[in-house]
Amino acid sequence: MTFVLLVAVTLALITAMGVWLFRPLVVAAKRANLPANFTMVDMLSLVFLVQLPMAINHGYIAPHTNDLGMWAVDGYGWLAAGVLWWATVRTMSRAGIRSAWHRTAFIAIVLPLALACQICVSLLIWLPAIGSHVREFQASVPSTATLVSMAIFSAVATYVGGRYTRYAVAGIESAETTIDAVSPVGQASPGTDISGSIGK
């Protein structure tokens, strides 16, 4: 029963964080529904994103496992980073985000922060629970100060990331509003022949 409760709480918190961080972008993508495109900035950001799971693996996991385990974790990290990168770039393109700065910030900052926050939340829930029941993990349970720091980091980073998403989406909506104001309904489009209607 405790295991089921921990899984439910973890999934609920991670889902809530994902909704806060990315729902405005998903809604904007559904509304605009523009074609997806991939830029050179996106490709460079992918190189950076792939390095993150490799750094964690080779810094913390690889020393405690064999070569097969290291390559397995590397492969999983590459696959996960690639899928997240593809989904993020596709959603940004469909939403109409063309700014290289916004696209880089989403892939290189917001997305890694989202992953870090979700990992922190999972550790906050599972480490104390496992450590209190399994003797081998008791030494791995962080101190109370560390757990509090992880909770504060997760809350602040999630909030800032969500606010940035809304800022980027608001820029798209502002540009659309400006275009609509400059081109009011009823104005003749370029190339339209209106000479035949004069004098009738």
Range of 8's domain?
A: 2-181
Q: Is residue 191 part of a domain?
A: no
Whether 194 is in a domain gets the answer no
pTM of the model: 0.69
199: in domain: no
Q: What average pLDDT does the chain have? A: 77
In a domain, 108, yes or no: yes
Question: What total of structural domains would you count in the chain?
Answer: 1
Residue 197 belongs to some domain of the structure: no
pLDDT given at position 186: 45
CA distance 20 to 129: 27
Distances (CA, A) of 147 to 96, 126, 153: 39, 11, 10
Instruction: Report if residue 77 sits inside a domain.
Output: yes
Q: What is the pLDDT of residues 71-89, one digit of tens each?
A: 877 787 788 888 888 888 9
Residue 187 domain flag: no
**Rounded CA gap, 49 and 195, in Å?**
57
In a domain, 192, yes or no: no
Give me the pLDDT at residue 192, please: 43
